[in-house]
Amino acid sequence: MKELKVLGIVTFFTLLMYYLVEPYAHHAMHAKFDAQGNEIHIESQGFVYDGTTEAQASAVAVSDLKYKLSTEEDAKIKASLEKKLAVAQDIEAKKATFWKEVASIAELKGDAKSGETAFASCTGCHNGLGMNMGGVIPPDLDHAGAIYDSNYLIALLKDPAMASNVDHKYEDTMAHPMGSIKGTMSHQQIADVVAYMKAEKATEPTAKQAFVEACARCHAMRYDKLTQLGDAPKTKENIKTGHDIEAMKYAQKVAEEQATLATYMGKLPPDLSMIIRARSEHFMETFIEDPQTQLPGTSMPRVGLNQEGYDKVHEYLMDIGDPSKPARDMAAPWVLGFLFIFTILAFLWKKHQWRDLH
């Protein structure tokens, strides 16, 4: 029985470490606090976009500035904090007004047929030609109605910088690469275009298609040979020179695109081949929902995926970053079953061998 007790103790502490200690340590390492030292809990909003994360972030920013202002004694610093507080309160009000207007547009009944005409103007940029416009390649919208949230699409057509929650990058949100459409559509026209996308651009994409449309214009996947310009071409090696000329030309184009993107974003967005192993499920959800919640001030825009769109992107990240997981999941019950049976057999064998000594 001594062996079984030892096994039980080892099993208990192993499970304790796995289910309690390790998650707690991970949480403690990545905890966020406000100026007063209170922990900020970042919760998923279920991929529904209504300005909640902006309101929470603005409230924290205003609260932090008020706290600092109340504890500061230096007159010059207080004057600076008062100006920052006024700006923060102005931003808070603007964001609240913006999302209130988005909600009012969402209540309108859109006409898909009328929206088709207005949507035609979108294809001038969103055409799949891979042309960089203003620092980044406009994404395809072939499955926009399936992978993006309706409120986000409304917000995007109303003010792209505000919708993407990267307005902090621009003194005037018209400077956003897509800012030229701001104010060009009435509320009803916006509702019509979104209705069209939800009706005609809503076929279910593959996991890779969802990732390409939502993420690949910025993030490469080297383990799938996917670049910001699409799939790397498969070319034959040039026998005479010993080099693949076409591959070299393509690599140069990719390097030029990455340089332009790095200038626009401030740095080159990371390759995501292994991100699924590097980050927790909670981080992935909340970061993709709104990058500002996990990394305030980042230049990464909100993507606007709905739950189905996120699931597709997550599936692709799993396929590339951890392709053996399905096989492991299938093998796990068999391995555990073998270890359980082997433990019983080993105990019985030991008991049999030592039966004359006890």
Tell me the residue ranges of DSSP E strands in 67-162: none
Taking CA 309 as the corner, what is the angle to CA 307 and CA 189, rounded to the nearest 5 degrees?
95
pLDDT tens digits for range 65-74: 999 999 999 9
Residue 133 forms beta bridges with which residues? 136
Asked if the model's pLDDT at residue 237 lies above 70, the reply is no
The whole-angstrom separation of Cα 294 and Cα 189 is 34
Q: Write out the two tokens for 308.
A: 């189905």
3-state helix, strand and coil shares in percent for the chain, rounded to the nearest 5: 65, 5, 30
The whole-angstrom separation of Cα 196 and Cα 190 is 10
Indicate yes or no: pTM above 0.85: no
pLDDT of res. 236: 61
pLDDT of res. 153: 97
Q: Tell which residue, 48, 107, 105, 43, has the closest CA to residue 306.
A: 48
Asked if the model's pLDDT at residue 6 lies above 90, the reply is no
Asked if the model's pLDDT at residue 252 lies above 90, the reply is yes
Complete DSSP assignment for 106-126:
HTS---HHHHHHHHGGGGGTS
Dihedral (CA of 263, 232, 308, 160) sign:
positive
The residues near 317 (Cβ < 8 Å, ≥ 6 apart) are 211, 272, 275, 276
CB 103 within 8 A of CB 177: no
